[in-house]
Chains A and B, each alone.
Chain A
């Protein structure tokens, strides 16, 4: 039997298909656009193609993330927090704390026996989210991808006011024109954001193993800064973006098997993918 997880995040959409032993049969990633329904269908279709499966081969589909309510073919919607926690515990069975640095928010999750038991979220101020990196990178005229390596070359760290993302843009430009070294500014940016997020994480008593996921986890400089601020080792999944999707698929599998035990048969639901194209104009 096969199971799928669809994670429509604020910036990226991810779909995974797994089999009964949690092995990944397909992984699809793409930018999230304004038309989630089409996107979901499109991404699912690609995932099926990659796994050379038909939609009816999938026993259970869980949708998660910002756009979870726009996955017409999903059997169940769950929050990204539960899915992330589950995904992390699949990848790192001994994980107790998961920190996800997403595009629009930052989440910290406590995990016990593979389940989400407590969480904190920052969506109050952008200064504590991945957007802080994107926006300041743009202001500095560099790519998000460069930031990590750049910051590792820093000789010292420039103090960046972590107060506000919008004004941090001006701040970093001012620093540049004051002749501060680019890499030192970038290092300062990482440490400012890491400071915000580790403070958030401390609202939950942090226990090892700590796993970092989301876009922020792909940034080596960010990972280093987080290690320093948290004062502990940090694990990062091979592909930090798909943790939530994996968790969704696995949770789906577990629910499916549970109902199968209780009622003999798994919950079968006739479903069909709507024919979809990316960014089709919705309003003629």
Chain B
């Protein structure tokens, strides 16, 4: 049988996928921690175990993400943007725009009917528009991410968020708390601020529907809703959004292997 693996080592989370043909047979997500190499090994073991395979069963592995070079067992590395595009394409072949909301940065990608990247843009460094902001603020408000979304949905008048910096978003939230602003308005304000920053990225690549949101940020319903109202479209969400890039890497691995054969 032909199994292929994709590993996506991000700054905050590491994800892995094993596919057979285009079927996901195993996937796994862990915190990257401070050692990419170790994280990659953990994922590799967990994946093969879950798939009931030995490591040699996996014919080819492609690694992507900021830690890609630390994946010793990968055949080669590939750009996370290309992987994300391929991953989305195999899940939603009709997709033309992708928003990948990672922990620190956000990418907007355009693709054509073959899943080829036709345009993309990445968030500016100092306005790190990523899921981190939500994690940080949820922590301030002492609510988990589910609760965060729940209270945000209740807000009548979300606050305005000035800064794009995740760390200063935190100070801002704290000062708002001290001003006695209700939690839900802060939560909703964060989502809206993030959604706005993401939507201007998407506009830069000239969004075309259907539009998919993936990456860790796609786990936040409230963010998705905020983004949908900013962009005035319905967003498609993959079943396990944070592994989309790893999945794409695995698909690429399969393609690469078959190309080598022929």
Contacts and interface: CB of A to CB of B under 8 A. Distances in A.
Interface of A: 8, 10, 32-34, 36-37, 66-70, 104-105, 123, 125-126, 129, 131, 135, 139-141, 164-167, 169-170, 172-174, 176-177, 279, 282-283
Given A34-B183, A166-B104, A125 B165 contact: yes
A248 B243 CA distance: 52
A135 B167 CA distance: 9
A66 B36 contact: no
Contact of B183 (A104, A166, A177, A282): A282
Nearest to B168: A126
Interface of B: 11, 32-37, 66-67, 70, 104, 125-126, 128, 132, 140-142, 151, 154, 165-168, 170-171, 174-175, 177-180, 182-184
Main secondary structure of the interface of A (DSSP, over half): helix
Given A135-B167, A173-B32, A279-B142, 11 more contacts: A66-B174, A70-B178, A70-B180, A104-B170, A123-B168, A131-B170, A141-B33, A164-B125, A169-B11, A172-B34, A283-B182
Main secondary structure of the interface of B (DSSP, over half): helix
Contacts of A66: 174-175, 178
B167 A165 contact: yes
A279 to B, nearest CB: 6
Contacts of A33: 142
A83 B184 CA distance: 32
A68 B167 CA distance: 22
A34 B137 CA distance: 11
Contacts of A10: 171, 174
Contacts of A8: 178
A15 B33 CA distance: 36
A109 to B, nearest CB: 19
B178 A69 contact: yes
Given A34-B142, A70-B178, A140 B171 contact: no
